[in-house]
């Protein structure tokens, strides 16, 4: 392992569009979606939309087919495979849902690259209807973060990840306003990769002093690949320098220790 954890947002980071909007638009439910949007939180609306699509006779197969044609920049998959091959621990942190993400990652052949997918639950119920539930059940418990939507605070999830990894560098990639809260949790050993001209980038630019992590922006999939691979290889070679220095020190110490030391001379 490289000692690096790479955390990817999903919508507009791994894939090039928003998966919720993509499914709704492709299945012809945009008008209803826009009509209901002011009446409930986004995550609850997606559950409602899946119910509406089910009533209109749209099947899980129809949803899967739409998900499999999701647009993705051609360099994103090679970037993910390269990070994995370099020994990084890859994770997804997304406000989409498990059904969409698992379907897309499996279809792209990169599900195995990720050790963990943190997102809203998404599953097919006994009626064959897709259910989308909140990550945090906000009806019984509030996460208490005013930067984040009620169903998910990505910062809270980053804190959980930080508590379980030891002495590792995090590289976080994201585009949305929901990626701002987790960027504030990163330390000076970490890297934040905001997508240029997207909401998280704008929030970071406005509050530059609040971030401890080093910021490296990216524009598209090609840029993402270049910046990510560069950060990983630089971090790995820096770690090697530290390791080699330690080995050198141990070696010298042992060499000295094994020499016969002259007896101390006591001056009366
Ligand atoms: Mg996003
Ligand atoms: Zn938050």
Distance CA(99)–CA(174), nearest Å, equals 20
- Torsions phi, psi of 136, nearest 5? -100, 130
Measured in angstroms, how far is the CA atom of residue 237 from the centroid of ligand 2? Answer: 33
Number of domains in the chain: 1
Nearest ligand to the CA atom of 183: 2
Tell me: pLDDT of 159 over 60. Answer: yes
Please, which pLDDT band fits residue 66 given cuts at 50, 70 and 90? very high
Q: How far is CA 246 from CA 102, 239, 241, 253, 254, in A?
A: 42, 11, 9, 10, 12
- The pLDDT of residue 252 is 47
Q: What distance in angstroms lies between residue 93's CA and the mean position of ligand 1's atoms?
A: 9
Cβ count within 10 A of residue 244: 10
- Flag whether 257 is in a domain: no
What's the count of helices (H) and strands (E) in the chain, helices before strands?
A: 10, 8
Q: Which ligand is nearest to the CA of 145?
A: 2
- 199 CA from centroid of ligand 2 (Å): 15
Q: Ligand 2 (ion): which residues have CB within 5 A?
A: 145, 147-148, 153, 155, 181
User: For residue 138, what pLDDT is reported?
Assistant: 87
In a domain, 217, yes or no: yes
In a domain, 201, yes or no: yes
Could you give the CA distance from residue 45 to residue 37 in angstroms, rounded to a whole number? 7
Instruction: Write the CATH number for 142.
Output: 3.40.50.1000
Domain that holds residue 148: 4-17+73-230
175 marked as part of a ligand binding site: yes
Ligand of minimum distance to the alpha carbon of 174: 1
223 marked as binding residue: no
Residue 9 is labelled as binding a ligand = yes
Judged by its nearest atom, the ligand closest to the C-alpha of residue 198 is 1
Enumerate the active-site residues.
Answer: 9, 11
Residue 118: φ, ψ to 5°: -100, 115
Residue 143 resides in a domain = yes
Taking the centre of ligand 2 as the mean of its atom positions, its distance from the CA of residue 105, in whole angstroms, is: 26
- Assess whether pLDDT exceeds 80 at residue 257: no
Q: What are phi and psi of 68, to 5 degrees?
A: -70, -15
Least confident of 54-58, 100-104, 114-118, 244-248: 244-248
Banded model confidence at residue 149, pLDDT cuts 50, 70, 90: very high
Higher pLDDT, 262 or 137: 137
In a domain, 61, yes or no: no
Residue 43 has pLDDT above 80, yes or no: yes
Question: Is 125 annotated as belonging to a binding site?
Answer: no
Of 243 and 213, which is predicted with more confidence? Answer: 213
Whether 241 maps to a domain, the answer reads no
Residue 53 resides in a domain:
no
Separation of CA 148 and ligand 1 centre (Å):
13
pLDDT, residue 247, reads 62
Q: Has 89 been labeled as part of a binding site?
A: no
For position 2, what pLDDT does the model report? 80
Residue 78 has pLDDT above 60, yes or no: yes
Report if residue 55 sits inside a domain.
no
Least confident of 186-200, 209-223, 254-268: 254-268
* Structural tokens at position 84: 């994995």
Q: How confident is the model at residue 85 (pLDDT cuts 50, 70, 90)?
A: very high
């Amino acid at each position: 392992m490289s000692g690096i954890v790479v955390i990817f947002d999903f919508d507009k980071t791994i894939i090039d569009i928003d998966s919720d909007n993509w499914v709704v638009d492709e299945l012809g439910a945009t008008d209803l979606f826009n009509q209901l949007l002011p009446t409930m939180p986004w995550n609850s609306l997606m559950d409602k939309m899946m119910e509406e699509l089910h009533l209109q006779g749209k099947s899980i197969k129809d949803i899967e087919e739409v998900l499999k044609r999701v647009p993705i920049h051609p360099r994103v998959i090679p970037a993910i495979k390269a990070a994995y091959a370099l020994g990084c621990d890859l994770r997804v942190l997304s406000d989409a849902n498990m059904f969409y993400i698992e379907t897309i990652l499996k279809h792209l052949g990169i599900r195995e690259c990720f050790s963990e997918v943190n997102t809203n639950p998404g599953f097919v119920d006994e009626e064959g209807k897709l259910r989308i539930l909140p990550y945090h059940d906000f009806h019984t418990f509030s996460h208490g973060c005013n930067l984040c939507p009620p169903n998910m605070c990505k910062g809270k999830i980053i804190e959980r990840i930080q508590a379980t990894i030891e002495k590792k560098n995090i590289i976080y990639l994201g585009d949305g306003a929901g990626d701002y809260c987790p960027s504030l949790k990163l330390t000076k050993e970490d890297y934040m990769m905001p997508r240029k001209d997207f909401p998280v980038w704008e929030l970071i630019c406005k509050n530059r002093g609040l971030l401890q992590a080093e910021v490296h922006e990216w524009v598209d999939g090609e840029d993402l690949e270049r910046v990510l691979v560069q950060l990983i290889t630089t971090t790995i070679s820096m770690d090697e320098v530290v390791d080699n220095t330690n080995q050198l020190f141990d070696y010298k110490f042992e060499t000295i220790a094994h020499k016969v030391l002259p007896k101390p001379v006591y001056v009366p």
